């Protein structure tokens, strides 16, 4: 039930206030999510060890790949970095929240012919 409420909240926010600034949309969404927090859930939420990656090739075809979400790479700054043990993959470090020391790590396989 909570998932349906959250999905409906997201839908309403992005369709009915699309003309507002991003900051106004964010504040409105946060308020709606806090209001939705009154609903209880069973607590049976588990983080999947996999991530779903969608890759769009040059022809526009979408390929969906399931990969393990665990990565050993730690970021010290934003940017692109090669894999420590080989050139067949690389990492992208992104700092979405400038007020926390956390980075989001994206792991990529090098396309054919790049490495």
Is 69:48 a contact under the CB 8 Å cutoff? yes
Q: Is residue 30 part of a domain?
A: yes
105 strand-pairing partners:
93
Is 89 part of a structural domain of the chain? yes
DSSP 78: S
Position 64 in a domain: yes
Residue 27 lies inside a defined structural domain of this protein: yes
Q: Which domain holds residue 64?
A: 50-109
pLDDT at 80: 92
pLDDT per residue over 12-63, tens digit each?
766 766 666 777 777 887 887 777 656 555 666 665 666 666 777 788 888 7
- Whether residue 94 lies inside any domain: the answer is yes
Q: Does 104 share its domain with 54? A: yes
Is there a domain that residue 41 lies in? no
How many domains are there within the chain?
Answer: 2
One domain for residues 87 and 59: yes
Instruction: Assess whether 32 and 55 both reside in one domain.
Output: no
Q: Is 91 exposed, middle or buried (0-12, 13-18, 19+ CB in 10 A)?
A: buried
40 vs 88, residue with greater confidence: 88
Same domain, 58 and 27: no
Percent of the chain, pLDDT > 90?
3
Average pLDDT, the chain: 76
- 57 and 26 in a common domain: no
pTM for the whole thing?
0.41
C-beta neighbour count of 103 within 10 angstroms:
19
């Amino acid at each position: 039930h909570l998932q349906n409420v959250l999905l409906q909240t997201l839908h309403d926010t992005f369709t009915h206030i699309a003309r507002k600034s991003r900051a106004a949309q964010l504040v409105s969404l946060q308020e709606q999510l806090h209001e939705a927090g009154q609903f209880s859930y069973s607590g049976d939420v588990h983080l999947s060890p996999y991530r779903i990656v969608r890759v769009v090739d040059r022809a526009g075809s979408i390929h969906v790949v399931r990969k393990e979400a665990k990565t050993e790479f730690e970021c010290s700054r934003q940017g692109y970095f090669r894999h420590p043990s080989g050139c067949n993959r690389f990492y992208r470090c992104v700092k979405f929240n400038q007020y926390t020391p956390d980075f989001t790590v994206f792991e990529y396989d090098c396309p054919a012919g790049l490495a």
